[in-house]
Structure 1
Amino acid sequence: MIHNFQFKTKRSEPREYLVTCVDDNCNWLLRASKFRKTETFKIRKYVKTHTCSLDIIMEDHRQANCNVIGELIKSKYMLIKRVHTPHDIINDMLDDFGVSMGYQKAWRAREKALELARGNQDDSYQKLPIYLHMLKVSNPGTITHLVTDNTDHFKYMYLAFANSIKGWNHCRPIIVIDGTYLKTSFGGTLFTASTMDANNNIFPLAFGIGDSENDSSWLWFFTKLEETYGEREGMAIISDRHKSIENAIDDVYPKAFHGACIFHLCHAPTRRYTMMTSNIAESINAALKAARTLPITTMMEGLRSLVQKWVWKNGNEANGTFTQVTTDTETVLRENFIRAIKFQVHDIY
């Protein structure tokens, strides 16, 4: 493969191994046999000069199968945000090894490399229960739920971190809901519930996974959300206009105002503060775009890492705040004060 030639196995026996060029008219061969009574093979004959045509050299290399190529390119997929397409694999293998291949082989090699770098989809579901258990052990107060069907296959998953549960009462009583699809072979939908803290930072509340955005899955997610966070006075739930979300809110939060992010921009019976759209949910979806291609347990670890990074950053910012209000609010007050001292008051009478 390295020298752009293909070979085939002519003889493979316990004591002898013989390979030749794929072209029967070519002189290239290598023959090896066991050395005396040892298990070591010794090369007995090696004709290193090829006499085959260029047409044979440039054919699809059989020795460069998807497993071999997957091992060679797995480092390309260690960073989950990196995009390396089958066309990139075709070009790289031709440039680096002189190996030509078709699109289908490149696709299979990519799938193999992804599995080697990020884990197997099936195995990841098997690891999910112990992963969720360890999340609760390492983060006391974290709530997780895992539901399987009557054949013991995955059905639903719910996760709310302890930090989110503790911080909810210090946030505005507005919850933004959204669902986005998972880009894996098993599919599924990632459900998110989030709000904003006092400093206008995104504050994730809960995550869930289900088969799709249907009545059953949304009802299950909202039920778990209500069990975790309850219902606050004046609470509003903001989402897109998906009918299943509306049905679930009617069942689980009958007293809460449900605002469609675009339709209810002009009027709401409860306070919306500055949260007029579902943009924060879209921001979370964008931040998790690459993670949504990963096996489920690896994806959840990526999600945990992202939330932990946000908590650490926002916590450091809060610890460095020495005013009675948040830094964002303090900035607005100062700017308004500077403008106000330039105003003059006139008697209109």
Structure 2
Amino acid sequence: MGDPQLQIGMKFRDFDQFKAAVRNYGIKNRYVMNFRPNDSTRCKAICTRGCPFYLWASLMTRGVSTVQIKSGHLKHECAKEHKNRHVNAMWIARKYMEQLRADPSWKLSGIMQAVKLNQNVEISRLTAYRAKSIALREIDGDEATQMASLYDYRLELLKTHPGSTVKFRCDDGIFEAMYVCLAPLRAGFLSGCRRVICVDGCFLKGVYGGQLLSAVGVDANNCSYPMAWAVVNKENKYNWSWFLQLLGEDLNIENSHGWAFVSDRQKV
């Protein structure tokens, strides 16, 4: 599909695969293709420059989705294109998905240069931005979809880490906070870490925002040891009290004797 060699008699799974192959052929050879007519039983690919090139494809038999190229003229008599509308944001995102997965900070100028060198097509900065956004959304996941799967996430954590504490707090069905303390981390802290707990919070960037509250210990090698964290709607006394109360129940802290808490405090 990266460099299809189209021939009369070729078969495709369906019309979508046929049109994808024609688009890839156009991108590879720097031609822009149109599909007319284009319906559920037939599809004709033609060159936008009006040259004799065409491919006529239709269903092999009625009731079967397999598509075959029945006839065509496979030679172009027009000049090649330097701008190709088939090289859109969705196509670029799929083409360079793995590069963006390896380097999410890939600059827009780098994407534009890669498309120009590899495809001989110039794209705008806006197209590169949209392609990167689509790819990162596919890699990281959509935030709305992830928020809708929080209860499934809780069940999966309890299944894979028995004895863990995963709690939600809602107000009239609206999500407000989530607390997580995994059983292996809790057991490791109680059995081999010093009785020192560092607490802090930071902003969360994204559609929903909020704050991330965390509690981190110190192990025998003076390294950070995460214990528990919570996602809350905002940083205030009520949310900190809720977080520390659950942390105290998990660590069996009945009084402050023998424990040290460290916080940056700042202005509050």
- Give the TM interval when normalised to the shorter protein: 0.7 to 0.9
Contact persistence 1:75–1:117 (CA under 8 A): no
Supply the distance in 2 between the matched residues of 1:85 and 1:217 (Cα, whole angstroms): 38
The residue correspondences of 1:39-118 to structure 2 (distance < 5 A) are: 40-52=67-79, 57-59=81-83, 61-79=84-102, 82-118=104-140
Over the matched positions of the two proteins, sequence identity in percent amounts to 22
SS at match of 2:98: helix
SS at match of 2:178: strand
The one-letter amino acid paired with 1:27 is: C
Supply the distance in 2 between the matched residues of 1:217 and 1:104 (Cα, whole angstroms): 41
Shift of 1:159: 0.9
Corresponding residue for residue 214 of structure 2: 192
Shift of 1:210: 1.8
Corresponding residue for residue 9 of structure 2: none
The one-letter amino acid paired with 2:71 is: R
For the pair shown, which has the larger CA radius of gyration, 1 or 2?
1
Supply the distance in 2 between the matched residues of 1:10 and 1:215 (Cα, whole angstroms): 64
SS at match of 1:2: helix
Correspondent of 2:260 among 211, 231, 236: 236
Q: What is the aligned-residue RMSD (CA, Å)?
A: 2.8
Corresponding residue for residue 211 of structure 1: 233
The residue correspondences of 1:7-26 to structure 2 (distance < 5 A) are: 7-23=33-49, 26=50
Task: Identify, as 1 or 2, the structure richer in strand.
Answer: 2
TM-score, normalised to structure 2's length?
0.74
Task: Identify, as 1 or 2, the structure richer in helix.
Answer: 1
Supply the distance in 2 between the matched residues of 1:226 and 1:139 (Cα, whole angstroms): 20
Unmatched tracts of structure 1, length 5 or more: 247-349
Compared with structure 1, are the counterparts of its residues 131 and 242 closer, same or farther at alpha carbon in structure 2 (3 Å cutoff)?
A: same
Per-residue deviation, residues 307-333 of structure 1 (Å, max 9, x unmatched): xxxxxxxxxxxxxxxxxxxxxxxxxxx
The residue correspondences of 1:322-333 to structure 2 (distance < 5 A) are: none
Supply the distance in 2 between the matched residues of 1:189 and 1:50 (Cα, whole angstroms): 61
Supply the distance in 2 between the matched residues of 1:50 and 1:221 (Cα, whole angstroms): 71
Shift of 1:206: 0.8
Compared with structure 1, are the counterparts of its residues 232 and 203 closer, same or farther at alpha carbon in structure 2 (3 Å cutoff)?
A: farther
Corresponding residue for residue 271 of structure 1: none
Contact persistence 2:60–2:68 (CA under 8 A): no
Shift of 1:223: 2.8
SS at match of 1:146: strand
Contact persistence 2:45–2:56 (CA under 8 A): no
Shift of 1:131: 2.3
TM-score, normalised to structure 1's length?
0.59
Shift of 1:33: 4.0
Count of matched residue pairs: 236
Supply the distance in 1 between the matched residues of 2:138 and 2:208 (Cα, whole angstroms): 18
SS at match of 1:200: coil
